Amino acid sequence: MSTEQTLQLAVESLTKVNEAQSRQLEVQSRQLETQANQLGTLTEQNAEMAQRIKELTAQIAWFQRQMFGRKSEQRLCFQGQPSLFGDDELGEQGPAEGPEESGTDDSASESKPGQRRKPSSRQHQTWENLPILETRILEPEGGVDLERYRKIGEETTYLLGFEPGKLFRIAVVRPKYGLKDSSEPVERGEGVKIAPLPLFPIYKGMHSSSLLAEILLKKYKYHMPFYRQIKEFAHLGLTGLKEPTVTGWFKRTMELLRPLYDALVEEIFVGYTYTRWDAMMRILDDGRLLFDTNLAKNEIRPITLGRKNYMFCGNHEAVEDMCVITSLLSTCRNHDVNPRLYLNSVIESMPYFLKAEHEELVRLLPHKWKEYHPEAIMDKVRNLAK
């Protein structure tokens, strides 16, 4: 076979291979086009399904609010269904929006069919008019090197304080410092320095220990129910406060003080009995001695006045809470301790003693606490007010 024939055969072979590869590429191109069309279709379907899921989720959330929400929101109404009770005539559409709400987002204010619009509750607006009579400035721990750092701002947290006959705001200011030279290498977290937020009696609460102490005193020392306290607070500038809110504050405060109550109980079934054992055994030698509970009855007697004002505790948990505060107040009275100063101090301190040992809690009980706070011991003149 000549060289020319060999070359011709090679060319024909390569041509066939090229044609076969061209056909394969054409088939693959058609397959890719088909897959691209399928992918586009699936993408559209996924978008439609995502939108449908979003709509169904919103409907489920709305039905859950209607079925399991507050009693005032549990009435199911559907679009086009007439009202059995004539809501338009009863004026249940809620108050008209004032100028302060005109700047809100329209999309956020839209409501589901049949759901009445609930006015927004901005509790902080009810006490912004109160004066700031106390400012606490908390600098970062360990100080700040002002040659390396400069003040870049501050964070302010407001608390609601109380003095007899006066409500005011307490500003907790935490200056924030940043490095002057941003390229300076420092450890993680050292680029910006700011003091940590102190522990408050109630987590994320706006109320100071002085306000919580006053609420407890008015209820269990002066027998003033919560709804009357709310009226007094409104006269002092704190408007919009609701009784369930004050009840929630009370429950949280009782949870905070319960370790002190437990320590007090342990001190009385152990310390009281052992130190007075000989005196109690005298009753076995002399039948004229009376083994009575007059002291306990004298402590319970003032509660009778409270029963006229708030009648019932409500439930067993509320009774236990009442035992906590009345026990601490009675101990203050028997040891000539000013209850307002005592409660203000321990309510502010207890967040730091949640995991304290028994001996540490005993030092916070009134008869031990007054040893470190002689200014809180009531003299004979003030003692007559008991």
List pLDDT tens digits, range 331-346.
999 899 999 999 999 9
Confidence of residue 308 (pLDDT cuts 50, 70, 90): low
Q: Tokens 């109550």 appear where? A: 261
Q: Where are the beta strands (DSSP E) in the chain?
A: 132-137, 149-163, 166-179, 192-194
Least confident of 57-66, 221-230, 342-351, 361-370: 57-66
Least confident of 10-24, 186-200, 290-304: 290-304
- Indicate if the alpha-carbon torsion angle 61, 67, 68, 71 is positive or negative: positive
Rounded to whole angstroms, the Cα distance separating 102 from 109 reads 11
Rounded to whole angstroms, the Cα distance separating 369 from 253 reads 19
DSSP state, residue 269:
I
Q: Tokens 């924030």 appear where? A: 176
Those residues whose C-beta lies under 8 Å from the C-beta of residue 250, and which sit 6 or more positions away, are 215, 216, 219, 226, 321
With beta carbons less than 8 A apart as the criterion, state whether 193 and 176 touch.
Answer: yes
Fill in the amino acid letter for 299: E
Position with higher pLDDT, 293 vs 93: 293
| 347-385 exposure pattern, b = at least 16 Cβ within 10 A, e = fewer | bbbbeebeebeeeebbebbbeebbeeeeebebeeeeeee
> How many other C-beta atoms lie within 10 A of the C-beta of residue 210?
23
